[in-house]
Amino acid sequence: MAKRKLQRFAENETFNHFFQPGWEELSAGFSLRGNWNKIFFHNHSPIIIEMGCGKGEYTVDLSSKYPERNFIGIDKKGARMWRGAKTSNEDNRPNVAFVRIRAENIAKVFGPGEIDEIWITFPEPQPNSPRHSKRFTSPQFIERYRQVLKPGGIIHLKTDNDMFYEYTLDVIRESGHELLYNNPDLYATPDDPEVKDVIDVQTHYEKIWLEQGLTIKYLRFRLNEA
């Protein structure tokens, strides 16, 4: 397994759409921050990021469905990200990128108002209360999203975890964010046009959890005005 990881790390280095800036580079000023459309994508299309992208299923599949948009997967685990990076590289997709960083550093990678939408797909629930600030929908993380989202930008959450789902609903309500859509049992309403993209794209683990009979929840919301 260690050898396989090393091979994947090495191959990641060869992809021109895979970035893994170190702390010094982030602190000095990441060159693409605020310049993703101009320098990398060479267009003015919307940018959508996937937080904790894992193997990058959403990043890759949505990029195929929507070639007129740009997609960037964010994660800290390069060996997992390798799968999505390799697939998009082999398919020569110009609207895909991956960035290997800790999620807390997204404001060092993207400029103010640079992001149109954020997908949070099956994040770590962080069940221990002392770690609640590490949850991807915590008030702390939402303020990080505010730094990079355009006004009116949308955040999507897809999870199998009841606690994380209820926690997010509480944060939305208590903070006065706008809940745009909420479905506690996503696959119970497969004909709902509101969830077509959400159902069409499934992560590796989502398929496993569905086979186990777990309920998948989905919601999307818009941040309040600061």
Per-residue pLDDT at 97 exceeds 80 = yes
Range ranked top by mean pLDDT from 77-91, 121-135, 189-203: 77-91
174-208 tens-digit pLDDT: 999 999 999 999 999 888 888 887 888 888 888 88
Report domain extents, the chain: 2-222
- CA gap 192, 125 in Å, rounded: 27
Cβ contact 37:43 at 8 Å? yes
Model pLDDT, residue 131: 67
Cβ contact 50:59 at 8 Å? yes
* 110 vs 1: which has the higher pLDDT: 110
Average pLDDT score, the chain: 93
- CA gap 121, 61 in Å, rounded: 13
Q: Which residue has the tokens 């859509």?
A: 181
Average pLDDT, integer, range 57-69:
95
Domain at 2-222: CATH code: 3.40.50.150
